[in-house]
Amino acid sequence: MRPFLLILSAPTGAGKTTIARALEGSRGDSVGFSISATTRVPRPLERDGVDYHFFSREEFERRRSAEEFLEWAEYGGNLYGTLASEVDRIQAAGRHVILDVDVQGARKIRKRRDDAVMVFILPPSAETLLERLRDRGAVSPADLRRRLEHAVRELDAIGDYDYVVVNQERSLAIQEV
């Protein structure tokens, strides 16, 4: 099978990153995770080059001018982007590429690539989403509010997606994706 792009989008806290990492862990020979670049500050336990490529705003903008990104978007005051080199590296190894991007990024990729499959991950309820966001200690009340408002707006884009998976039970959701 020709390697394709698997775009996973979800409100933060829906469990998308866990699903993406589990897929990579269990099927590492056939799928690879595209590590995004961001100007956001690393959370505790996040590692540069593993969770994200953490760039300064200057470095991000320089690479953006050099057209190194397949897509980029601004989210919560920070820049996020997919490096074309990441996608190429994974596809060159004959593996499908998992991309964890927001709805703006997903739209841009779909326009540029005809080999993208788009999956939207939903939390089982608004309460669960709130709980999961709160469990991330680093989230301030202002940040929480921004992320929740953003989540509600992102839901409007759900019709763009090929599949919707509800993350009620993690192992089931992984299997479905």
- Contact residues: ligand 5GP, CB under 6 A: 12, 36, 40, 71, 73, 75, 80-82, 100-102, 104-105
Q: Residue 9 in contact with residue 121, Cβ under 8 Å?
A: yes
Residue 73 CB, shortest distance to ligand 5GP, in Å, is 4
**Pairing verdict, β 116-122 and 163-166:** parallel
Residue 80 CB, shortest distance to ligand 5GP, in Å, is 4
Q: Take residue 39 and report the two structure tokens written for it.
A: 């100007």
- Output 12 or 91, the one with its CB closest to ligand 5GP: 12
Residue 71 CB, shortest distance to ligand 5GP, in Å, is 6
Q: Could you give the CA distance from residue 26 to residue 20 in angstroms, rounded to a whole number? A: 10
Residue 122 CB, shortest distance to ligand 5GP, in Å, is 13
**170 Cβ contact list (under 8 Å, min separation 6):** 15, 18, 19, 22
Residue 101 CB, shortest distance to ligand 5GP, in Å, is 4
Q: Residue 96 in contact with residue 6, Cβ under 8 Å?
A: yes
E strand intervals along the chain: 5-9, 31-33, 37-38, 53-54, 69-75, 78-83, 96-100, 116-122, 163-166
- Output 40 or 89, the one with its CB closest to ligand 5GP: 40
- Which residue minimizes CB distance to ligand 5GP? 105
- Output 29 or 140, the one with its CB closest to ligand 5GP: 140
- Output 29 or 67, the one with its CB closest to ligand 5GP: 67
- Output 82 or 167, the one with its CB closest to ligand 5GP: 82
Helix axes 141-155, 126-135, angle to 10 degrees: 140
Q: Which one-letter DSSP state was computed for residue 85?
A: H
